Amino acid sequence: MLNYRLVVRNVGLLLIALSLAMLVAAGVEYGVFLGDLSGAGLERDMLAVRAQLVAGLTGLCLGAAMWVIGRGEDAFLGRREALLLVALSWLVGAALAGLPYWLWARFTVEHHPGHPFESFVSCYFEAMSGLTTTGATVLSQVDPGPTGLPRGLLFWRALTHWLGGLGIVVLFVAVLPTLGVGGKKLFQVEATGPTAQGVRPRIRETARILWLIYLGLTIVQTIVLKLCGLTWFDAVCHTFATLATGGFGTRNASVAAFDSVYVDVTVILFMILAGANFGLYYQMIRGRIRDVWADPELRLYLAILAIASLVVVGSLIEQRIISPTGVDVEPSVGAAVRHGVCQVVSIQTTTGFVTADYDHWHFVPKAVLVLLMFFGGCAGSTAGGIKVIRILIAAKVMLAEVERVFRPNVVRSIKVGRAPVDPELRTATLVYIMGIIVLFLMGAFMIAVFEAHGPHADKLGILTALSASAATLNNIGPGLELVGAVQNYGWFSTPSKIVMCILMALGRLEVYAIFVLFMPSFWRAE
């Protein structure tokens, strides 16, 4: 039988951790961001501090109450409890993470009538997008100023990315030894990709090492972006969004607002690093460089990036390129390389940063970007998508089946590198890919149905519905047409936003942790 009290207790602890992060964000805003403000600007940002404090204290009280309810329960966490805990952590955590947005809109309603954050569903969408590192937003204006967001809320948006990057649940396992054996089950459920092998025998030690690597990369990128000319605020927020492969920026025009080749190159490099398996970095630290380069998934990941970049860059050399700021870029090889490579890396790593409005590109480069939306990054990375290792396994299975057509008596084992792929993993991989395709089509269908009689029904084409479904399910952020590089998701109806929130959670937790909740047998006693 499911140990509900144990799940409630641990969800409460997670809410306490998220609330403390929220209070830290409020402290940073009060202590750092308000120093150069005065008058209406200061009053407006103080309301953001107030919203975060109220939300943080509410979360602390709720989390403490849940911990008390489950206090004294056996610390053993079974498989079903781990699945339920992970699902509730993201679904409930997004509600708490969205509370500061909603409260801020309540406090400033007379100054921002009709603001998207007046709807709690829109706030939930923004928070889910942050925690799942999707980067889809309901906002049309994010620049700090009268029509945008206070810097404190922009910082909180970026921080939700960073926390969701390697997963709040993985951090939970790293810092809470009370989970004991159950910690391994929790880590395996939350970790992305078909394999969840640790870099150390103890799972808590594995989670801690991964987070230390994550933190180290965060510090390095922040310093590099600062040296590129960004303020500390912009450097920190864009580092959080890059390493988490999230994409929430502090400017309406994303990273294009800085118009800096150095910033673009830095972001491209760290997006590539974030899309690779973090376990490989531990192997590099131990001096196993040869083993890292021999990793078949890494080599395919880099090959896909290189080939896709060549195709897109070649298609853009003579093409008009428009910046998200609306400025025409002079056609040249340099411009094609800069913007083509950035968009390829951004989409495949599911980050969603934009340096060009790719909706104006012709069919070939857009088709490549759509394909990359589904490929995603490596297993064990912060990226979304199907994952390169699954693409590799599926390709090998398909080639093996083709060979069986003309050589039926040949029995050949399928290997990834030197490791054989057992039949169970083959089946799981193919089922997962098929499940993603089915969910993608179902999501697009439901969005199209819900918007059929909405204010944008005359503009909503099938490409918008399909790309909105793909971009949220694969945790990309921007799609095509009405959800393109310079668009947002604020115009969707409430039912469509709820569907896309579910798609984001499904993509981040790789389907099964959410799907099992709809199976009656999951809830029955054994």
Inform me whether the pLDDT recorded for 195 exceeds 70: no
Running DSSP on this structure, what letter comes out for residue 110? T
- Tracing tokens 């600007």 back to the chain, one arrives at 41
Q: What percent of the chain has pLDDT over 70?
A: 89
Which of 112-121, 241-250, 488-497 has the weakest average pLDDT?
112-121
Q: Quick one: CA dihedral 205, 210, 211, 212, positive or negative?
A: positive
Residue 91's pLDDT band, with cuts at 50, 70 and 90, is: very high
pTM attached to this predicted model: 0.92
Which of 16-25, 180-189, 308-317, 427-436 has the weakest average pLDDT?
180-189
Nearest CA among 208, 176, 199, 186 for reference residue 90: 186
Which of 154-158, 398-402, 469-473 has the weakest average pLDDT?
398-402
The pLDDT score that the predictor gives to residue 121 is 97
Inform me whether the pLDDT recorded for 169 exceeds 80: no
Higher pLDDT, 207 or 290: 290
Residue 198's pLDDT band, with cuts at 50, 70 and 90, is: very low
Cα 87 to Cα 91, 189, 207, 518, 519: the distances in Å are 6, 10, 19, 12, 14
Inform me whether the pLDDT recorded for 385 exceeds 70: yes
The pLDDT score that the predictor gives to residue 359 is 92
The pLDDT score that the predictor gives to residue 146 is 60
Over residues 94-104, the mean pLDDT reads: 96
Q: Quick one: CA dihedral 329, 332, 335, 337, positive or negative?
A: positive
Inform me whether the pLDDT recorded for 182 exceeds 60: no
Torsion of CA 437, 309, 238, 373, to 10 degrees: 0
Higher pLDDT, 327 or 229: 229
Q: Quick one: CA dihedral 424, 425, 430, 436, positive or negative?
A: positive
Nearest CA among 110, 143, 142 for reference residue 129: 142
| Digit-coded pLDDT (tens) for 216-243 | 999 999 999 999 999 999 999 999 999 9
Task: Compute the 3-state secondary structure of the chain and give helix, strand, coil in percent, each to the nearest 5.
Answer: 65, 0, 30
What whole-number distance in Å separates Cα of residue 382 and Cα of residue 109? 36
Which of 11-15, 187-191, 512-516 has the weakest average pLDDT?
187-191
Over residues 382-399, the mean pLDDT reads: 91
The pLDDT score that the predictor gives to residue 363 is 92
The pLDDT score that the predictor gives to residue 92 is 94
What whole-number distance in Å separates Cα of residue 324 and Cα of residue 154? 19
Residue 145's pLDDT band, with cuts at 50, 70 and 90, is: low
Nearest CA among 392, 337, 323, 367 for reference residue 480: 367
Higher pLDDT, 423 or 138: 138
Nearest CA among 94, 88, 89, 77 for reference residue 203: 77
* Contact partners, residue 467, CB within 8 Å, separation at least 6: 370, 479, 480, 481, 483, 484
The pLDDT score that the predictor gives to residue 401 is 84
Nearest CA among 82, 31, 33, 24 for reference residue 52: 24
The pLDDT score that the predictor gives to residue 175 is 53
Partnered with residue 322 across adjacent β-strands are: 328
The pLDDT score that the predictor gives to residue 23 is 94
* Contact partners, residue 138, CB within 8 Å, separation at least 6: 116, 117, 122, 125, 126, 488, 489, 490, 497
Residue 207's pLDDT band, with cuts at 50, 70 and 90, is: confident
The pLDDT score that the predictor gives to residue 197 is 47
What whole-number distance in Å separates Cα of residue 302 and Cα of residue 376? 12
| Digit-coded pLDDT (tens) for 270-303 | 999 999 988 889 888 888 888 888 889 999 999 9
The pLDDT score that the predictor gives to residue 196 is 45
| Digit-coded pLDDT (tens) for 62-87 | 999 999 988 876 666 777 888 888 88
Inform me whether the pLDDT recorded for 490 exceeds 60: yes
Rg (Cα) of the chain, in Å, rounded?
Answer: 23
The pLDDT score that the predictor gives to residue 519 is 84
Q: Which helix (H) or strand (E) holds 388?
A: helix 388-406
Inform me whether the pLDDT recorded for 417 exceeds 90: no
Over residues 417-421, the mean pLDDT reads: 80
Inform me whether the pLDDT recorded for 180 exceeds 70: no
